[in-house]
Structure 1
Amino acid sequence: IPVPMLPSGESTLWNSLSPPGLEPLVTELCTALKPRLQPGGSLLTGTGCVLLRGPPGSGKTTAVAAACSRLGLHFLKVPCSSLCADSSGAVEAKLQATFSRARRCRPVVLMLTAVDLLGRDRDGLGEDARVVATLRHLLLNEDPLSSCPPLMVVATTSRAQDLPADVQTAFPHELEVPVLSEGQRLSILQALTTHLPLGQEVNLAQLARRCAGFVVGDLYALLTHSSRAACTRIKNSGVAGSWSEEDEGELCAAGFPLLAEDFGQALEQLQTAHSQAVGAPKIPSVSWHDVGGLQEVKKEILETIQLPLEHPELLSLGLRRSGLLLHGPPGTGKTLLAKAVATECSLTFLSVKGPELINMYVGQSEENVREVFSRARAAAPCIIFFDELDSLAPSRGRSGDSGGVMDRVVSQLLAELDGLHSTRDVFVIGATNRPDLLDPALLRPGRFDKLVFVGANEDRASQLRVLSAITRKFKLEPSVSLMNVLDCCPPQLTGADLYSLCSDAMTTALKRKVHNLEEGLELASSALLLTMDDLLQAATRLQPSVSEQELLRYKHIQHKFAAC
């Protein structure tokens, strides 16, 4: 049975009156609860019920405990999972008993965690009217005259949309856990690492920037994963290789410095785990040097995205573009461009393919679209990149699905795009091969109103820039002339074609090296070199992925939309 308590006075990180990163939320909670503590305050303010919304691990319990400490209130935490039962009557009895126990501990804050679990029927699909009515009665019918000192309720949820309407309206105060800013993430990381030895190369400010969209629990998990990675690194090093298991345990207990590589490995693990959900924000590692050519396209994209970030005061009237549509033949570098922009502008990158959002259940596809934009706002400044946009937002009325799923998804996407005008530092980039298949409403002003054509490289100079960008990480023989290689290639090539050429040449070089190793002609430690012959052989076998007729069709589409 949960026991009411005064929050601990220990000076630990999470028991402080101002937990790092959560100070604004604690202040908001105190502002909502404090009037009930004044004489006659309940007559003026009504019930002291607060609904606190936020994702799991965002610090809701920590913030409520800190608010109770500031106001000198008892704190009774009850998980709503412990109130669930097989029948409505049993749930009702548990609710009544919980509130009765809380009344005996006044002044108290009764915290109901995951309140969205209450009020559902056994199938979890509909509402349990009896439980909803009981909970609403307990929240609203607390007698102000007899409730002194007061009983106040703070309920938490990570899925407010699952709350029955009658329960949600019983809370006069609704607070949302704010998204952690870069400065708040830095303060949390500094607090978490105060007593940890860090390597000299560890840059917490840079780490905080890379953790965009993380909540308090994620940052705590980052430290745990980093410590585990450091322990593994020490065990696998030559120093600890001959040690006994007991010695290794003592070493881990004694502590050792956390290095930048430990944090990098931990961050990669967390982002991989998050990427199982639709749209996990990441920081891409693609620079302009990886994108050859496309100078005009780069300029247009940077003017749309970089200008509002560097000079927000110039766009204070709200006349800014937030949507870009990259269209053109496949393999021309549309996705690579979007990642490079995110890297160069220090933005998080949230990549979504159209089919990932489609779900067989009614309403779930629209919920997925809302979730993507919610994640982007949490990770701002952020770029949302919709790949294969034509598969997600085809013209309404032509999709042919009996349930009208695609039409509803398009409508939801339009609503979210319109809502971006009130959200700073969130940009949307779409990519498609067929802009003529998109719903026309997407291309209206305020949505994807800036169309940028990303075409094939038709002149040797631009092809040389692309080929140089691809081969800059390769080891080439001094005799290699990339221009001579291009002279043996077809005239019209996309970036994907040139990547295929390099991949084919690398395969030839690998086969040659394996043969030489087997014959004893080379050492295994020697570098893999690409020769002129490797590249020329690949060039003679190269077939363009886009024919001349298809390129003409894409140019016709370009002129059609340029005239709109």
Structure 2
Amino acid sequence: MTRVLAESELPVDLSPFAAVDAAYPTEIARCYEALRRRLAVLIECEKELAPYVYKSLRDRLKVDGTRCLYLDGRAAADLPPPPQGAGLVQTMIHQIREIVRGAVGERIVVLPHLDILGTSMGGGGLGAEARELIPLLYENPEVLWLGFKDPAFPLPPPIENLFPHREQIFGVPRDRLRYLITQRESRKLGRGFDPYALYKHVSGVNAVRLRRLLNSLTGEDYPADVSPAIAQLRSATLSTDVELPQVDLDKDIGGYGPVKDRLKAEILHILSAKDLLSDATQIARVESLLPRGMIFWGPPGTGKTLFAKAMATSLGAAVTIVSGPELKSKWVGESEENLRNVFIKARKSAPAVIIFDELDSFAGARTNSNSSSGVEHSMVNQLLTEMDGFRKEELVFVVGTTNFAESLDPALLRPGRFEFALHI
């Protein structure tokens, strides 16, 4: 199978609803089957995507004769009105209370803003809304829930545990990209559409936003140079707090010949060779060999962070630099949430490199004498969970810097994790 598609193989027109169906058929089908088996479903996706995913599910359920009750704080014809002066959140809680204490029949109750209702407060405590919501959600086991949450908002375990089926929808799969661009839009990217080249810059963009970005592309059709169109997309996908470094590995860093040679041979040259391959099977094989986690270690002042920036420059990648000590929080669960948000922002800005400066400050080898080991153990688990969540085709790399590689938790150095160690 070749990587370049003819223009005639692409759709002529595409609505956002059709794009969501085309981008996430497997995820939506799994949620549909779970609901048919009367299992509560929690979908984690960005806010702008949730209404489209819901409509796709609703249309499938309607064929089976299953109705949905959508609770977004607006007046519902078959529910009593909320108390005078109730705000949006209190209205939703009022509606939930009426439902669990009434009869909903076979309807599925949809909570599009479950994250707003149930978000934890700093310190691991529950907000007033969450404390009121949790007992209501468990009060009537006959109610079938379909909840949506944004990745940026954590839910307390009692709410998450209510949902036996959980689905995460993030970015777009590369093999679905051919169904998400129209013939007219592909002309702005040259002759013949290469989903592999485009995917490098949009892997973390959800289908609805991607359609909006592609539809807004300007410039001539079939340009000889597609970099202006790519630059348009790149500027729209970058998060506000990431950096686009300009560090040339050879011109801006003197000496370090063996270090440069190894970085080029084992990372940069492989990525360059992958871009020249035309066979999809060969590309997948190369991608499976690339390490996503790297340890740059050596004495202070040797330029470990500078080398990571130079690697990112060679890849055209955005950089997020995270201070290990600053990630840690005294509040329960907040350190893990800080880590989670770092990965979310980086994946949205792909290609990206996350640099954890002083990785050993929270991912050091565990000892019984370390009073913070409980927090740090949770942070290591969260770090590995996030790295395991990468699609193999996503260009997101994680670089940890440390003075002593042996000071790191051995779990980090296993194959498939931080398997590339570079002594600087």
TM-score norm. by structure 1 comes to 0.51
CA distance in 1, matches of 2:257, 2:175: 35
Deviation at 1:297, TM superposition (A): 0.8
With over 3 angstroms needed to count, the CA separation of the structure-2 counterparts of 1:380 and 1:48, relative to structure 1, is same
Deviation at 1:180, TM superposition (A): 1.7
Deviation at 1:124, TM superposition (A): 5.4
1:219 to 210, 226, 232: 210
8 Å CA contact 2:318–2:350 kept in 1: the answer is yes
2:70 to 67, 77, 85: 77
Aligned counterparts, 1:430-449, within 5 A: 430-432=400-402, 434-435=403-404, 439-441=407-409, 445-446=413-414
8 Å CA contact 1:13–1:19 kept in 2: the answer is no
Deviation at 1:156, TM superposition (A): 0.7
CA distance in 1, matches of 2:165, 2:262: 45
CA distance in 2, matches of 1:121, 1:300: 45
- Show CA shifts across 1:262-299 (max 9, x none): 6524632541xx233xxx5x776655444554331123
1:50 to 10, 21, 41: 41
Deviation at 1:176, TM superposition (A): 1.9
CA distance in 2, matches of 1:355, 1:120: 25
Deviation at 1:174, TM superposition (A): 2.1
With over 3 angstroms needed to count, the CA separation of the structure-2 counterparts of 1:217 and 1:284, relative to structure 1, is farther
Aligned counterparts, 1:420-439, within 5 A: 420=387, 425=392, 427-432=397-402, 434-435=403-404, 439=407
Match of 1:52, SS? strand
Letter in 2 for 1:14: P
With over 3 angstroms needed to count, the CA separation of the structure-2 counterparts of 1:325 and 1:70, relative to structure 1, is same
Match of 1:20, SS? helix
8 Å CA contact 2:73–2:91 kept in 1: the answer is no
Structure 2 residue runs of 5 or longer lacking an equivalent are 1-12, 76-81, 275-281
Query: What RMSD over aligned residues (CA atoms) do the two structures have, in Å?
Result: 5.2
Determine whether 1:453 maps to 2:418.
no
8 Å CA contact 1:322–1:428 kept in 2: the answer is yes
Aligned counterparts, 1:303-382, within 5 A: 305=267, 322-330=293-301, 332-342=302-312, 344=314, 349-354=319-324, 356-359=326-329, 361-373=331-343
Aligned counterparts, 1:537-548, within 5 A: none
8 Å CA contact 1:120–1:128 kept in 2: the answer is yes
CA distance in 1, matches of 2:308, 2:136: 52
With over 3 angstroms needed to count, the CA separation of the structure-2 counterparts of 1:313 and 1:268, relative to structure 1, is closer
Deviation at 1:158, TM superposition (A): 1.7
Deviation at 1:411, TM superposition (A): 2.9
Aligned counterparts, 1:142-161, within 5 A: 142=143, 153-158=145-150
Structure 1 residue runs of 5 or longer lacking an equivalent are 1-10, 37-44, 143-151, 231-256, 455-564
Instruction: For CA contacts below 8 A with separation 6 or more, give which structure has more relative contact order.
Output: 2
Report what 1:171 is aligned to: 163
Report what 2:23 is aligned to: 21
Deviation at 1:338, TM superposition (A): 2.0
8 Å CA contact 1:354–1:389 kept in 2: the answer is yes
Aligned counterparts, 1:473-512, within 5 A: none
Match of 1:51, SS? strand
- Show CA shifts across 1:427-447 (max 9, x none): 532234x439x8453697427
Aligned length: 376
Match of 1:136, SS? helix
Match of 1:29, SS? helix
With over 3 angstroms needed to count, the CA separation of the structure-2 counterparts of 1:412 and 1:218, relative to structure 1, is farther
Match of 1:15, SS? helix
Determine whether 1:387 maps to 2:357.
yes
Sequence identity of aligned pairs in percent?
24
Deviation at 1:70, TM superposition (A): 3.5
Deviation at 1:13, TM superposition (A): 0.9
Match of 2:401, SS? strand
Deviation at 1:81, TM superposition (A): 8.7
Of 362-371 and 194-203, deviating more is 194-203
Q: Which has the larger radius of gyration?
A: 1
